[in-house]
Amino acid sequence: MKSHTEYLTFRTKEKVEFIRITGEVEAAVEKSGVKEGFALVNPMHITAAVIVNDNEGGLIGDYIRTLERLVPYNAKYAHNVGEDNAAAHIWRQLMAHQVVLPITNGKLDFGTWEQVFYCEFDGQRQKRVLVKIIGE
Amino acid sequence: MKSHTEYLTFRTKEKVEFIRITGEVEAAVEKSGVKEGFALVNPMHITAAVIVNDNEGGLIGDYIRTLERLVPYNAKYAHNVGEDNAAAHIWRQLMAHQVVLPITNGKLDFGTWEQVFYCEFDGQRQKRVLVKIIGE
Amino acid sequence: MKSHTEYLTFRTKEKVEFIRITGEVEAAVEKSGVKEGFALVNPMHITAAVIVNDNEGGLIGDYIRTLERLVPYNAKYAHNVGEDNAAAHIWRQLMAHQVVLPITNGKLDFGTWEQVFYCEFDGQRQKRVLVKIIGE
């Protein structure tokens, strides 16, 4: 079994921002030398998510507006004593916070429209995302 | 390490439909020859989800009614320019879009009520689900 | 490839309760002898979730209040004929029901604030959580 571990770092300009990272994950897969296996892409911070979805700007806005409507960022939360990011913690659960990606023949085994995104919900500071690949 | 990859295909009658696929996944596990490992079950389309839940028709209706109440299919979305499936993209995130299943002694290591479902949110056309198994 | 499987058992006092299980998962990782790999932590019951989030009591209350506001436990559900737990099934999807954790150098490869929680949504009875580790 082979394994390969990488840490991507992000500092977003906006508090809430989606960044496409398919290329970074593909590069990690190539570097790993794994032909058949899994890539786990997991934010190491608990106010962010990694998802697979469509690279379409309108949709990204729809996600953010939907999250804000369901769980308003500036509502009252017990967590927000000296903090203001309770909603970010909740958003990342609603979006499902991590993905496991299939690797076949040395490449991400993706459908036509699958793209990987880092979803920052409490940005403007340094964050890390782990890419861990196991396989053969 | 062994690996095994299969692509299941679906064309649902309804736009929104849940299909139980536990048997298909079990068959893939058996074919893989893997005794100890993981099975990733991942829709290759971004308006669908794979979940583990209860095989009970009332509950499946409850899921669909809840999603429609929280994120109405026919509301206004920026994505819906020449498209009508923005809600399907969002629903699949709220439901958590993929599962990783444990394999022990050559079988899915499931509790009594765990069943795998393909959740189509934008159906009536050809869709694929990847089943990828790694282990030994 | 090595593998290791454990079953944690819980009987919560409350119907809805979050239990931190990072220590139990770390112990399983150590017992496995795996240095590089993945740990799947998966509830074997379909009215519970395993998540990674912050060990902060206020936030845990925020999660429960948000779930109750979005999907009220005692609303009418088709599933609730001789059952009362439809909302628990739905909550576990909204929270994303399972996690896959990275193992690097024989330890959970976690950021500073990542903690593993068992989220019981229909408790006061015996439940199991599977921890399955594969790697090398």
DSSP string computed for chain B: -EEEEEEEEE--SSSSEEEE-HHHHHHHHHHHT-SSEEEEEEESSTTEEEEEE---HHHHHHHHHHHHHHS-TTS--TT-SS---HHHHHHHHHT-S-EEEEEETTEE---TT-EEEEEESS-SS-EEEEEEEEE-
pLDDT at C132: 98
- The token pair that represents A28 in the structure block: 């990690």
The span from the CA of C93 to the CA of C13, in Å, is 22
- Interface check for A71 against chain C (CB to CB < 8 A): the answer is yes
Our CA-based measurement puts residue C22 at a distance from the nearest CA of chain B, in whole angstroms, of 19
Report CA torsion sign: B41, A111, A93, C110: positive
Site from A38, A47, A89, A99 to mutate, C interface, most C CB atoms within 10 angstroms = A89
Give SS3 for A24.
helix
Q: Which residues of A touch C71 (CB under 8 A)?
A: none
* CATH code (residue A109): 2.60.120.460
Nearest to A98 among C37, C56, C99 (CB): C99
The span from the CA of C83 to the CA of B62, in Å, is 13
The span from the CA of C86 to the CA of C56, in Å, is 27
Q: Tokens 């498209």 — which residue?
A: B83
Question: CA-nearest residue of chain A to B43?
Answer: A111
pLDDT at C86: 98
Counting one residue from chain A and one from chain B, the pairs whose CB atoms sit within 8 A come to: 87
- Interface check for C126 against chain B (CB to CB < 8 A): the answer is no
Burial-class residue B132 by CB neighbours within 10 Å (0-12, 13-18, 19+): buried
Nearest to A59 among B79, B132, B134 (CB): B79
pLDDT at B108: 98
**DSSP string computed for C24-78:** HHHHHHHHHT-SSEEEEEEESSTTEEEEEE---HHHHHHHHHHHHHHS-TTS--T
pLDDT at B127: 97
Neighbouring chains of B at 3+ CB pairs under 8 Å are A, C
pLDDT at A119: 98
pLDDT digits (tens, 9 = 90+) for A12-57: 999 999 999 999 999 999 999 999 999 999 999 999 999 999 999 9
The span from the CA of B116 to the CA of C119, in Å, is 20
pLDDT at A31: 98
Residues 6+ apart with CB under 8 A from C82: none
The stretches in chain C having pLDDT less than 50 are none
pLDDT digits (tens, 9 = 90+) for B4-32: 999 999 999 999 999 999 999 999 999 99
Residues 6+ apart with CB under 8 A from A76: none
A3 — pLDDT class (breaks 50, 70, 90): very high
The total number of structural domains in chain A stands at: 1
The span from the CA of A114 to the CA of A108, in Å, is 10
- Interface check for A44 against chain B (CB to CB < 8 A): the answer is no
Site from B76, B132, B133, B136 to mutate, A interface, most A CB atoms within 10 angstroms = B132
| C54 with A89: Cβ contact below 8 A | yes
Task: Give the strand pairing for B107-108 and C2-10.
Answer: unpaired
The span from the CA of C125 to the CA of B112, in Å, is 15
Q: Which residues of A touch B48 (CB under 8 A)?
A: none
| C42 with B100: Cβ contact below 8 A | yes
Question: CA-nearest residue of chain B to A116?
Answer: B46
Our CA-based measurement puts residue B118 at a distance from the nearest CA of chain A, in whole angstroms, of 16
- Interface check for C40 against chain B (CB to CB < 8 A): the answer is yes
pLDDT at C56: 96
- Interface check for B123 against chain C (CB to CB < 8 A): the answer is no
Neighbouring chains of A at 3+ CB pairs under 8 Å are B, C
| Separation of first and last alpha carbons in chain C | 5
Asked if residues C120 and C17 have their Cβ atoms less than 8 Å apart, the reply is yes
- Interface check for A34 against chain B (CB to CB < 8 A): the answer is no
Q: Which residues of C touch B132 (CB under 8 A)?
A: none
| C77 with B99: Cβ contact below 8 A | no
- Interface check for B33 against chain C (CB to CB < 8 A): the answer is no
B105 — pLDDT class (breaks 50, 70, 90): very high
pLDDT digits (tens, 9 = 90+) for B79-97: 999 999 999 999 999 999 9
- Interface check for A5 against chain B (CB to CB < 8 A): the answer is no
- The token pair that represents B54 in the structure block: 């209860």
pLDDT at A27: 98
The span from the CA of C57 to the CA of B15, in Å, is 41
Residue ranges making up the domain that contains B33: 2-135
Asked if residues A130 and A24 have their Cβ atoms less than 8 Å apart, the reply is no
DSSP state, residue A91: H
In which order are the strands placed within the sheet that holds B17-20? Answer: B17-20, B115-120, B48-53
